[in-house]
Amino acid sequence: MQLKSLIFATNNEHKANEIRHILGDKFIIKTLRDSGIDIDIPEPHATLEENAREKSSVIHRLTGGDCFSEDTGLEVTILNGAPGVKSARYAGDEANFENNIIKLLKELDGISERQAQFRTVISLVLDNREYQFEGICPGKIIEAKRGSQGFGYDPVFVPEGADKTFAEMTIGEKTMYSHRKKATEKFIAF
């Protein structure tokens, strides 16, 4: 039986590796780079759902093939869900995740209510139809960075039921809690 090949509309190798780890040998996953597609797809929308749809739609229009994308945001309760859809650009359009973490920790300075969640939305275009799957990982933001694994806000996020940040976990440990895994499991079941 030939494995289904899907283009993952991302240039982020960290995300691609997480998805490949979760999927195992169920699909052949090709990133944009693997597929010879050299574009950076904008994320102009106000929701994760719309941004995920934008990315999968663009790649589907370019290739005509089956593909998927995802958009993920860190949603901090006391900040009314921010940084949310702006997670990658929280400290400005030219910011990196170090700048974003600094801004987040500054905004939470002196605040004890630090509940947060990572939320992922996967948009799958299969046989010219779009389907969406959501995964949520509740947790909290700690006061200082810990760990060197992962990417993004991983050094300041501790998932519910754990005592380590995502950045202190192996990819296997992170997958046990992962929002991306929860969304991907729904995608696999579908």
Please name the amino acid found at residue 166: F
71 is catalytic: yes
Residue 144: half-sphere exposure toward Cβ, Cα within 13 Å: 0
Dist CA 13 CA 28 (whole Å): 15
CA–CA dist 36, 158 (Å, integer): 36
Q: How big is the CA angle at 68 (ends 63 and 72), to the nearest 5 degrees?
A: 135
Three-state secondary-structure class, residue 83: strand
Helices (H), 26-96: 48-63
Tokens of 120: 């992922």
* Annotated catalytic residue, options 25, 66, 71, 109: 71
Which H helix or E strand runs over 136? strand 129-141
Residues labelled as active-site residues: 71
